Chains A and B, each alone.
Chain A
Amino acid sequence: MAIIQYTLKRLLLMIPTFFLVMIIIFLLVRFLPGDPAIAIAGDRASDADLAAIRERLGLNQPLLVQFWLFVTNTLQGDLGRSILMRAPVTDIIFDRLPTTIFLTVYAVSLSLLIAGPLAFVAALNRNKWPDAVIRTVFQVGLSMPVFYIGLILLTFLAAQLRWFPVGGYGDTFIERLHHLFLPAVTVALYTSAIIMRNLRSAIIEVLDAEYVQFARAKGLPDRLVLGRHVLRNALISTVTLLGLSIGNLMSGTLVTETVFAVPGVGRLMLEAIFARDYPLIQGLTLTFAVLVSVVFLLTDLFQSTLDPRMRLT
C-alpha cells in the first residue's frame, strides 16, 4: 500500500515538472535561429506568402497567446500539425514511438546481459588478469564515440559479412530483434561499460562488507552469498546509474537511429530540427521528457523494492 501512495505522490510531483518543461520547450523553439515560414515556403517565397504562412501557424500572435494555445492544446492531446509531414504530431509520434521504446529496452537488456556477468568476473578476480582484460576492453569502448562504433559494426557485420541488415525495421518480433541488433549493441557497448564499471566497484565494496563476511561465516553456499547478499546490495547504486543512463540513451537515439536508419522518434527529431518543424519539435521534446520521467519513476520504485530503508521516505 505504501508503494501505491508513493507512486501517486511521485506522479503528482510530475505536474510542475511538466509545466516547466513546456515553458522551456516553447521558449527554446521560439528562440532557435531560422524562420519556419521560410523553411516551409522556401527561400524564394514572397513576403505575402510568408505572412500567410505565419498567420496560419499563429506565429504572428503574441508569445503569451501562443503559449496558452500550446498548453491547452497539449493537455487535450493535440500537439498541432507537423509542418514537414502535414499530419497531426500526436499521430506521427505514436506511430514512431514503439520503435524507439523497443530499441531502448533492447539496448538496456543487452547492456545488463553484458555488464552483469562481466562485472562479477572482474570484481571476483580483482586486479588479476581477467579484471584487467575486461576493464581495458570497456575503456576502449567508452572512449570511442557511439556513432563511430556504429559505423564500424555496420561496415563489417552488415555491409561485408551481411549478417545483419544495414537499416530498417522488421515486422515480427524476431525480425525486429535481428534488424535492431546492431543499433542496440552499439548503444549497449557504451551503456554496459558505464554499468560494468559501477557494478564492479560496488561489488568489490560489498564483498568486503561485514554482513557478507557474516553470511560466509554462516556457511551459506557461494551462490547465495553472491546472489542474495552481494548482488542485491551492489545493485542499489547501479540502479540509479542505470536510470540516468537510460535517460542519456534516449537522447542518444538521435544519433543511433540516424546512423542505422531506424524509423524511430530519435531520427524524427533530427529531421524535425532541420526542417524547423516547431510543432513536431515541441511534441517530440515533450515525449522525451515524459519518457525520461517515467524511467526515473520506475528506477525509484525499483530502488524502494530493493531497499527497505527507502520505503519509509
Chain B
Amino acid sequence: MSDTQPILEVENLCTTFTRGGVALPAVRDVSFNVGKGEVLGLVGESGSGKSVTLRSILGLSRRYGDVTGSVKWMGQDIAQMPERKLRHIRGRDIAMIFQEPMTSLNPLLTVGLQLTETLKAHTDMGRAARRDRAIEMLDHVGIPAAASRLNEYPHQFSGGMRQRVMIAIALAASPKLLLADEPTTALDVTIQAQILDLILSLADELEMGVILVTHDLGVVAQTCKRAAVMYAGRVVEQGDVRQVLRAPRHPYTVGLMRSVPQDVPPRSQLYTVPGTPPSLEALPQGCAFAPRCQGRTEGCLVARPPLEAIAQGRSVACFNPVIDAQGAAA
C-alpha cells in the first residue's frame, strides 16, 4: 500500500475480447492502487495486457470487449459508468497519453484546436483564455515559439515535439492521474530521457499520480516508486520498486531482470527467458508462466496461483516464490 490514500483503486479488472468466437482474456483479475502523486510502473513484455489495462481504466476498451471488475476513482466506481458521465472524468481527472505520437494526433486539425477543445470540454474558459492556456501549456512542455505554432498541424512537428504536444493536451485540464502508455517507446533514445523527465517533473509539480506503462526496466528503476509486473494479462508481482527489482520473488521477474545485460563480458551470449508467452486463445489451466518456469511443480500446472501479500505492500502470484534471486541493482 502507498503511504497516501489511494486515488485510484483497481480491483479484479478483467477485459476479454472476442475474435471469431474465441474469447481472448487480455486482462485477468488485475488489482492495484495508485496514491496521490505516486508513480506506478506497469512492466511486462508486449502483449502482456499493460496497454489494455490502461485503456480499460479509462473505459476505452468497452467498445471492443467485455470489461468486468471495479475501477474506483476517488471512491466512485467508474468501470460501468455510462459514457456520458465518464467523459467528464476522462481528460479532466484522468488523462492519458499514447505510445505513438505520429498517429495519436489528428492530422487534419491544428495543434491549437486539439489543445483548446479539451479545455472547452472541461472548463468554462472563454476563447481567449483557452488560447492563452494553450500557449502556456505548449510553452510549459518545452515547445519553442509556442504562440506561433498553435495554428500548425501535427505533420509540421517532429516526433519528440508531437509527444510534447500530446502531453500538453493531456495535462491542459490539470488531471490528477496520468496514464502514460509507453510514452517514450517510439522516440529516439536522446529524446526519451527528456520526455520522461518532463512527465516526472510535471507530475511532481502538479501532484499528479502517474501509471507508467513500459517494458523498459531501466525506466522503471529510475522513475517509479512502485512497480507491478504483468504476464499474460495478470499482475504476477508488485511492490516497492527497489524490492521488486533487487529481490524479485516471481520467477518471471527474475527472468526479466536477468535479461537486462549488466556487467557481461563483450560477445557473450545474452540471457533470455526460455520459451514464449502463451497465446491468449490457449492459456494454460494453471499458472500461465509454468511452461517456461524452472521451478514449476505439479501444482503449478493445475491451479492458478493467486496474487498474495508476502510482506507490507508486496505481493506475488507464485506457489514457489524465489527466495534469494540475484536481481539487478536498481
Q: Spell out A's residues near B (CB within 8 Å).
A: 209-222, 224, 228-229, 232-233, 236, 306-309
Contact = CB atoms under 8 A, between A and B. Distances in A.
Contact of A219 (B90, B98, B104): B90
- Interface bin, chain B: 20 to 34
B107 A217 contact: no
10 contacts: A211-B103, A211-B104, A211-B107, A217-B60, A218-B95, A218-B117, A219-B121, A228-B109, A308-B108, A309-B107
Nearest to B91: A219
B58 interface: yes
B153 A214 contact: no
B155 A211 contact: no
Contacts of A213: 55, 60, 98, 104
A226 to B, nearest CB: 12
A217 B153 contact: no
Contacts of B169: 214, 218
Chain A residues touching B, majority SS? helix
Given A211-B103, A229-B106, A217 B96 contact: yes
Interface in B80-119: 83, 87-92, 95-96, 98, 100, 103-109, 117-118
A215 B105 CA distance: 9
A222 B83 contact: yes
A92 to B, nearest CB: 44
A231 to B, nearest CB: 10
A218 B153 contact: no
A213 B166 CA distance: 13
Interface of B: 55, 58, 60, 83, 87-92, 95-96, 98, 100, 103-109, 117-118, 121-122, 153, 155, 166, 169-170, 173
B90 A214 contact: no
Given A211-B107, A229-B109, A308-B107, 14 more contacts: A210-B100, A210-B103, A211-B104, A211-B105, A213-B98, A218-B95, A218-B121, A218-B170, A219-B90, A219-B118, A221-B121, A233-B108, A308-B153, A309-B153
Contacts of A307: 107-108
A211 B117 CA distance: 14
Nearest to B101: A210
B166 A214 contact: yes
A220 to B, nearest CB: 5
Nearest to A215: B106
Contacts of A217: 58, 60, 90-91, 95-96, 98, 170
Contacts of A222: 83, 87
Contacts of B90: 216-219
A309 B107 CA distance: 8
B87 A210 contact: no
Nearest to A224: B117
B106 A211 contact: yes
Contacts of A228: 109, 117
Nearest to A229: B106
A219 B89 contact: yes
B121 A224 contact: yes
Nearest to A206: B106
A306 B107 CA distance: 10
Contacts of B58: 217
A137 to B, nearest CB: 25
Contact of B117 (A209, A210, A220): A220
B273 to A, nearest CB: 30
B121 A210 contact: no
Contacts of A306: 108
B60 A216 contact: yes
A201 to B, nearest CB: 17
A204 to B, nearest CB: 12
Contacts of B98: 210, 213-214, 217
A229 B104 CA distance: 12
A210 B88 contact: no
A220 B103 CA distance: 18
A218 B118 contact: yes
A218 B91 contact: yes
A307 B155 CA distance: 11
B66 to A, nearest CB: 16
A309 B92 contact: no
B95 A309 contact: no
Nearest to B152: A308
B106 A219 contact: no
A221 B85 CA distance: 10
B209 to A, nearest CB: 16
A37 B121 CA distance: 74
Contacts of A233: 106-108
A152 B47 CA distance: 55
Nearest to B86: A219
B118 A220 contact: yes
Given A228-B109, A309-B153, A220 B104 contact: no
